Structure 1
């Protein structure tokens, strides 16, 4: 275990030699809910077996085939839920590094690896990225198979990538995707069309985050972007509530038998989530699904006219370690399957701050190009 508790498992013996390929020279971590051959997949839980995985998850196999070296498994919250991981923030030991991909964000932020392969069900990639001053890319739902991973909510779970720079996140995603051109590392893209979301749901942020967003808007406008305010006409609070219903119900279904026999060995937040999920009426689940479908359609229509929608990544700088932070600003886009990306955008004292860019489904080329342009403007 390293000093910041970022790593769960490291391979035995000497490091493998670098291989040729588009990811030659990339050293990657893999979140400990995804199988890596020869290492156990423990999901941060004492209820999992220590036996090593027999084979790589398909996404990991593609990364190796592209020339990447797998440095090891990164720590995550228990079952990728809400009980904090043992990982420590490198910016303030009393603050959370986020979750569920806590170890991944810290490993990237401290230079332990080039990038990491992760999962997102709520804000598991975007939130730790914002708290640790790195890039977090969560592509369109279904962009890559989640086989070889441990699910949280199968209808929402999506693979994602954490990296120091947009080009590295894009390169890792390109190596995994069936259509690599969607994630081709961008060149010098033109100034993007950016919609700044003005909505009561996303406007409830602290002063530091509000000031960070305003600085980013001014910088993008001054650099030539077409920046204008937009509203969605969607009740984002209802979308957030629908996500909770669907996630809790699907997660509880997956854990039902194990939880029945070992409830006392789950963390308190995991127990609360599963208990609520087990009590979800079918009618509530149906209504949540209807909210999800309607929101996805309406948000998709709005985003078709933009390269990216700009929203805060988190409502406040990283809070104390007793929590993994507030996921509400990441949840609407995750539930609707939209691609999103967290980009470093400043600091509040020693703590990093980030902004979030959201795009239409399968609009990764526009999102990556816009994010790379914004990254250059911000000097990230």
Structure 2
């Protein structure tokens, strides 16, 4: 008898999936749709920001020399000859006068300081100013934020609300970014039911809904959820019809183990997709490769195995595909309040609950792969190395924070 094939290390399979999905080519994206994407090229400002000198306060535009001796005991009184609300055209300030000015309004020519309203009597025809101000006080000069010709945002920046605000202020309507990966999610298994009430021996398809949600949470686009029975010709026919429009990844669940009726393995194995066993628990059977020139990742069908496999292999690959600067979940160190065992030779990803107040993490539910209720209650994965079989109370472990991005 031939010896069983050695198990692939988790890190090796992680790299295989990341390389398979790759970095998506950049495209032009409307600014309104760019939040969560990553700039593929730097943004060079075509104008300064602000584009004109303006007031940083509600107050009075003046010449600093005219109020040099102002104090509460000896205020300087100047006639107010103009009002400048924000958005007004700029005018000229004559020596010995003041213009009442609002925050963001353009500074009149000839003014070199703004006196905040709190240092005045708020007069409208004439204003009594009770404090001297140096030239430049409370003035936002043109280009003080961004200078025309300078790099406003470098390539690789994750676009959030602040970046959108800057780009909009610079007059940009679109950006060049790596697009969200489009993922076709497909569950397999004749035991899965589409009917509201499953028949005898059937269950509702939860994997496709779960994995589609995971794709969206990772920043991708789940184009459609499919269910296909354990029938190889029908499975291939369904894939051919769906892949014709083009997707960035085909993600399947189920049909990858060593038993009979493994439709994904039977259909895609002879067509270039490689199926292997990874040294991990849960989620040992895995598949990856290309079908119809589309990257394919095949996950096991048990719900816990499927979602854990997604977290370990697919999520970081999807985020890397659009250049996310942090493709992996945050990893924390926490203390075990109870002893834990792990199978030899397999890296275990155990569901857990993290207590941030105490810095402890407790295993959450049984270690089996079919416990959806326990899966929904977990907020982290306890990462136990393959060469560790026992951990004692008080030992420190790595914890993948599932609530962190």
- TM-score using structure 2 length: 0.26
Which structure's residues are more often helix, by fraction?
1
Higher relative contact order (CA 8 A, sep 6+): 1
Which structure's residues are more often strand, by fraction?
2
- TM-score using structure 1 length: 0.28
Which has the higher Rg, Structure 1 or Structure 2?
2
